[in-house]
Amino acid sequence: MAEPHTDLHLADPTIDMSLWAGREDPEPDSLRWHQVVTPLKRDGEPGVALVGFACDAGVARNQGRIGAAEGPRALRRALAPLAWHRHSPVFDAGDVGCHGHDDMEAAQARLAERLATLLASSHLPVALGGGHEIAYASWSGLARHLEARGERCPRVGIINLDAHFDLRDPAHVRSSGTPFAQIAAECEARGWPFRYACLGVSRAANTRALFARARDLRTLVREDCELAPHRLAETVRDLQRFMAHCDHLYLTVDLDVLPAAEAPGVSAPAARGVPLAQIETLLEAVRDSGKLRLADIAELNPSFDIDGRTARAAARLIHQLTLDS
């Protein structure tokens, strides 16, 4: 096994490659993720770059169940035994940690820098959360990259598969419940359009004020009850129209969009949720758009994960998202 690379600008020198372990089959062409993932190196072929965000300070500030800081490790373990069907490489770019609740903003800045560096090297970053405060860091990393490329007014589409809008007012406290309000404010300051789609929203879990804020921001909203199988094709068409008016896409999946039976290991398990099969269909539409620049998976909390269900669901989503031709 290769030794971890020591370039702090690209990879954490303390990458724990022992997490990438599992069975090895004797038949030809029977590789699994753990046999293929390597520590990120400075010079090499672009591929998918996994980077963890070991932080749940935003969840704590949002009065949720903490434990998502251990999500990146659990997600790597769940990915490790999956069958390998890619042609281009996958790299582990290490973790960005958070040292206490007061370190959240600094941790977000560190992750944004890491993601911007990965994007500059033509990788597809997939960030592993961690609380949904990861979203502000992910978008910030993409924004930094686009600004460095000289894009003056990019149309960045944010697609959030989530039971919650996460549009709470950050003037009170910045948390896992405020990232998209923070992003909207950043877009206004830059003169960029704010293009936001939130799919899987639970009306029972979002106040009237949040629905009003979503309307004011012209958010594409589809509630969980609207994503039933017989209506899914209509939502996919709406999503495709949304993506057609974007230059770049950022996809974020909050695992509490799934039903509690499929994803018990989250801060706020969903009483209803949207089943994995429907979420996969939406995710694949984004993947196949040709505009996806980065993605993240948020809110995996191993402390409450029964039989590893949530980690397995998250791993399957990453597996589907990163399939190539």
- CATH number for the domain spanning 196: value is 3.40.800.10
Q: What is the pTM of this model?
A: 0.95
Contact predicate 59/109, CB 8 Å = no
**Alpha-carbon distance 254 to 162, whole Å?**
5
Q: What is the pLDDT of residue 8?
A: 37
* Residue 283 domain flag: yes
* Residue 221 domain flag: yes
Which residues are registered as beta bridge partners of 270? 259
* Residue 2 domain flag: no
* Residue 174 domain flag: yes
Q: What is the pLDDT of residue 11?
A: 47
Q: What is the pLDDT of residues 189-230, one digit of tens each?
A: 999 999 999 999 999 999 999 999 999 999 999 999 999 999
41 confidence band (pLDDT: 50, 70, 90)? confident
What per-residue string of b and e applies to 140-153 under the rule 16 or more CB within 10 Å gives b? Answer: bbbbbbbeeeeeee
Which residues are registered as beta bridge partners of 248? 156
Question: Which three-class secondary structure state does DSSP give residue 128?
Answer: strand
pLDDT surpasses 90 at 43: no
59 confidence band (pLDDT: 50, 70, 90)? very high
* Residue 67 domain flag: yes
pLDDT surpasses 50 at 167: yes
Residue 19's identity, in one-letter code, is L
Average pLDDT over residues 266-290: 97
CB within 8 Å of 189: residues ≥ 6 apart: none
**Alpha-carbon distance 68 to 102, whole Å?**
16
| Mean pLDDT across the chain | 94
Residue bearing the bigger pLDDT, 69 or 11: 69
Among 8-12, 192-196, 280-284, 286-290, the minimum mean pLDDT is found in 8-12
Among 121, 75, 66, 123, CA closest to 95: 75
Which DSSP helix (H) or strand (E) runs through 144? helix 134-148
* Residue 270 domain flag: yes
pLDDT surpasses 80 at 2: no
Q: Is 20 buried (19+), middle (13-18) or exposed (0-12) by CB count in 10 A?
A: buried
Q: Structural domain tally of the chain? A: 1
Q: What is the pLDDT of residue 15?
A: 85
Q: What is the pLDDT of residue 14?
A: 67
Q: What is the pLDDT of residue 44?
A: 79
Is the four-CA dihedral 243, 244, 246, 249 of positive or negative sign? positive
* Residue 153 domain flag: yes
Complete DSSP assignment for 106-123: HHHHHHHHHHHHHHHTT-
- pLDDT > 90 fraction of the chain, expressed in percent and rounded: 92
pLDDT surpasses 90 at 89: yes
Q: What is the pLDDT of residue 280?
A: 98
Residue bearing the bigger pLDDT, 172 or 80: 80
* Residue 293 domain flag: yes
Range(s) of the domain holding residue 311: 17-321
Q: What is the pLDDT of residue 12?
A: 53
